[in-house]
Structures are given as C-alpha cells and as structure tokens.
C-alpha cells in the first residue's frame, strides 16, 4: 500500500510517494533527488528525534497532514575551489549576523503609511492566515492578490520591501484611507486598517474560524428582573480603559458587562438592562484592542488615553468562559501546564549547550534550528496526546484550552490617532524562551528583548500597545 508524505525544505513543500515498507534511507534518497541535498547532510525531523536509515517510515506514527522539516545544504550551493577561511559568529557585523539569523523584511514607508505597515507585519506573523493568502488563486479581490505577492517578497527576507501595489489596492477598496491634507496623504488609525484588512480577507478566504470569538449574552431587566439569553460573535476582544484600569484583565472585564436602555413591552416603557457576556468560543488567534482613542468635539480629532495598562505574555481567559465550556478548557489547561514544565527543562538544557567552534555560522544556525524544531515538535506531540480524539492539532481553528501566548503587538506613539507613529513587534519564532522579539519600524528591523515589550504598556506619549495578538498555546 502506497502513501504520500510531505517534506518542507527552504520554505517549499514537496510530496513524496512511498511504499509501506520504505525505510529512512529510501526517503533520504528521494529527498536528495528533489532538493539536491546529499544524504550525509540531511537533517530530517520526525517524532522522537532524527530519522535513522533503517527505520520503517510507516511504523513511525507520522501525521501525514503535517510536513516533515528537512534541513541541509544542497550541492549546488556549496563553494567550489579553495575553501574560504572559516568565519565565526563573533566576527560578523550586524548586517551579516542578520542574514545568518534570518532577519525578517521591513516595509518602506510610502508617506504616512506606518499604520498600514504595522498592520501588514502583524498579519504576516499570523502564519495560518498568511498560508491561506499564499494559496489564493482567485481574481475577485485585487487586494488579496496584492497581499499574496507582497508576502511572497517578504518571505524571501529581503532587506526591505515596498508595499506599493498593496497600498494602492487598499486605498482603492477602502477610500477613507486615501484622505489627503494639502496634497499629502494623512496618517490613519492602525486598528481600523487592521480590521479592514481582515474583513477583506474574510470576504474571499476562510479565516473567520481562526479569529471568531463566541459569546452568550444574558440581558437582565433591572426593573422587572426578567432575564433573556442571546448569542453574539466578534473578531476581537476590547479592553476598555477607565480610571481604575491597571491591567488588561480589568479592561476586558469592563467590556463584558454593560448597562443599556431598552424598551420593555410589558411595562410599555424604556428600562435599564444589564448585559453580561460570557465566552462560548475561543479562536486560535485572539486579537485584543486597547480602546485608547476617542473623539474630541473641541479639536475634532481622535485623542488618546495615555493611561498605563499592563498586559501579560501569557493570557488565561478561564474566568471569562461560559460554564458550558469552562470545565473542558480548564482540564486541558491543567494538563498543558504539566507538559510545559517538561519543555522548560529541554529549553534550559538547549541554552546551556556551548556552541561548537568547529562549525561555520551557517552550520551552527542549521544545527540550532534543528534542535529548536525538535523541542517544539515534542511539545506539540505531547500536547496532541492529551487532547480529545475529535481535535486535530494541525487543522484546529479553536483553542482547546483557555491559555494564550503573546505573539505580536502594534503600538502607537503620540497623542492623536491622526498623527504620531505606529510600529509592530513580533516574537522571534526561533527563540524558545520568548526572550527575543523583532521590532518593525517601517523598513528598520531590529532585535529587542522581552524587557522592551514590557515597556509598551503606555503611560505617556511614547510607544503604547494598541493591538495585541495572542495565539493559542500548543497550536
């Protein structure tokens, strides 16, 4: 019986048909034919570690829906002639080090377009959505087509990319972002741009399931005591900020309860109703919006709430869940905690290992990438083992637990949405501990620490978080 596995090498996917009795050596031969990587240089990551030559592929329990990572240098990329002097990481300048560390691409500012650049970098970091964009072959939405080309260029990790076509299509589809003042395009609100981009993607791609939050809404008439239930959905959580809001949790809870005035047919008059929301669905990607901007009639501008609001790197929404899903989510969360402890030991051991001075920077980078991928793969396999059989970890669009990890932050500096500057910060996926982040200041890309992210809580006119993107832990 023949079956097909998928490998991933240098950002490309290859399908390889195999017989049921095929061994590791057979697979390596087929990989060499496709990638030109000699068997001796192939590093193939499978469940449990590296693939051995005599291992029977069909007995490894591989998830055929998930690609297998293959690392290694093809023959065609090897230097010819006299070998060059070996260079070590410590000898590289910043630009050279960026190439080795696979520094991501920046985006050129095309005239007050930092609001769009930060939004694009954030969507690019949401790999499941980015994948759907890359698979788009339609023509009905020119903006999505432009995003596909743009993200392909960004994937090549060029120094910086000009998002000209994407900008033109974005303004064509949403003319409100083409507003000018004295012949110059005006600064715009990044949150509005981010939301409109997601709306455009949702119109042609199946991305809603990755973002959709479900609610149960209980409405209580404060005069009669009558209660009614309804449901609601949203693509983001709002963090409302008032004088008592010090933490993200406080602001989210503010948005889950409100008092409104509604008509009571029985009493034939308007009465106050208390609306209480509980969450019935948690998406894979959770977007949180700090509601910092409000309209001032005197200045006719969006002003900014500068208050400092602390946010966590790990967010647990258990207390906000509806009873219909809470017990199941919390049970998986508790099992996840146990897996995390084991993973922390592996991460700690990886960081303690001294670099091999006999390796070139490229070889060391490949070796580290392999080890990191192995640790991540084990964590994912262990997590999959504790999930109900009905949940496929590779295709899941809903968070099976209540826990999220922070992946991206869009910030704003200044006092008005119509001025100031927007930036994006994204977690470095190659860093196991979450200590390393990328800062996207238009075309300027730099590495920053976890401590820098902690300073983005606000409290002044400097960078303050406007949008947070969390990803379901374990997915």
Q: How far apart are CA 439 and CA 427, in angstroms?
A: 9
114, 239, 273, 412: which one is catalytic? 114
Q: Which two tokens stand for residue 399?
A: 């968070």
The answer to whether 418 and 438 have CB atoms below 8 angstroms apart is no
What does DSSP assign to residue 176? G
Q: How far apart are CA 201 and CA 151, in angstroms?
A: 14
Q: What is the C-alpha R_g of the chain?
A: 25
The answer to whether 289 and 466 have CB atoms below 8 angstroms apart is yes
Question: Kind of pairing, strands 213-221 and 269-281?
Answer: antiparallel
239, 273, 412, 421: which one is catalytic? 421
Is 114 annotated in the active site?
Answer: yes
Q: Residue 152, Cβ neighbours under 10 Å: how many?
A: 13
Angle between helices 142-155 and 114-125 (to 10 degrees): 70
Question: Kind of pairing, strands 2-9 and 68-71?
Answer: parallel
Q: Give the neighbor-by-neighbor strand order of the sheet with 227-234.
A: 227-234, 213-221, 269-281, 257-264
Instruction: Indicate the SS3 state at residue 410.
Output: strand
What does DSSP assign to residue 394? T
Residue ranges of the alpha helices (H) in 156-312?
164-173, 190-204, 208-211, 248-255
Is 421 annotated in the active site?
Answer: yes
CA dihedral 121, 127, 130, 136 (to 10 degrees): 180
Q: Among 383, 284, 402, which residue's Cα sits nearest to residue 342?
A: 383
Give me the sign of the Cα torsion angle 132, 134, 136, 142: positive
Active site amino acids: 114, 421
């Amino acid at each position: 019986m023949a079956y097909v596995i998928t490998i991933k090498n240098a950002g490309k996917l290859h399908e390889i048909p195999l017989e049921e009795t095929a061994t590791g050596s057979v697979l390596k031969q087929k990989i060499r034919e496709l990638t030109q990587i000699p068997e001796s240089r192939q590093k193939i990551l499978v469940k449990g570690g590296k693939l051995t030559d005599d291992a029977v592929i069909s007995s490894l329990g591989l998830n055929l829906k998930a690609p297998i990572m293959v690392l290694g240098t093809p023959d065609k990329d090897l230097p010819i002639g006299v070998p060059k002097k070996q260079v070590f990481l410590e000898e590289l300048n910043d630009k050279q080090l960026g190439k080795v560390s696979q520094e991501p691409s920046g985006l050129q500012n095309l005239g007050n377009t930092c609001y769009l650049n930060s939004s694009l970098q954030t969507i690019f970091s949401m790999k499941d959505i980015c994948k759907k964009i890359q698979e788009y072959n339609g023509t009905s939405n020119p903006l999505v087509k432009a995003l596909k080309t743009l993200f392909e260029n960004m994937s090549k990790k060029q120094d910086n990319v000009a998002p000209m076509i994407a900008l033109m299509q974005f303004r064509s589809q949403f003319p409100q972002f083409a507003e000018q003042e004295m012949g110059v395009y005006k600064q715009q609100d990044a949150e509005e741009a981010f939301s409109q981009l997601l709306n455009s993607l949702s119109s042609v791609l199946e991305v809603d399931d990755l973002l959709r939050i479900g609610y149960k809404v209980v409405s209580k008439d404060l005069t009669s005591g009558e209660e009614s239930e309804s449901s609601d959905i949203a693509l983001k959580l709002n963090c409302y900020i008032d004088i008592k809001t010090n933490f993200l949790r406080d602001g989210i809870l503010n948005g889950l309860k409100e008092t409104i005035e509604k008509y009571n047919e029985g009493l034939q008059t308007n009465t106050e109703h208390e609306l209480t929301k509980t969450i019935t669905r948690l998406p894979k990607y959770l977007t949180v919006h700090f509601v910092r901007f409000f309209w001032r009639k005197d200045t006719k501008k969006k002003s900014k709430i500068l208050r400092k609001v602390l946010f966590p790197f790990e967010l647990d929404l258990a207390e906000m869940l509806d009873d219909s899903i809470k017990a199941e989510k919390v049970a998986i969360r508790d099992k996840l905690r146990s897996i995390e402890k084991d993973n922390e030991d592996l991460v700690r051991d990886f960081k303690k290992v001294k670099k091999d001075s006999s390796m070139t920077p490229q070889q060391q980078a490949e070796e580290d990438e392999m080890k990191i991928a192995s640790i991540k793969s084990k964590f994912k396999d262990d997590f999959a083992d504790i999930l109900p059989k009905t949940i496929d970890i590779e295709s899941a669009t809903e968070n099976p637990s209540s826990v999220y990890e922070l992946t991206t932050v869009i910030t704003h500096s200044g006092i008005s949405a119509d001025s100031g500057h927007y930036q994006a910060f994204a977690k470095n996926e190659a860093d196991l501990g979450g200590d390393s982040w990328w800062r996207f200041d238009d075309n300027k890309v730099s590495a920053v620490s976890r401590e820098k992210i902690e300073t983005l809580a606000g409290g002044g006119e400097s960078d303050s978080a406007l949008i947070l993107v969390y990803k379901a832990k374990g997915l």
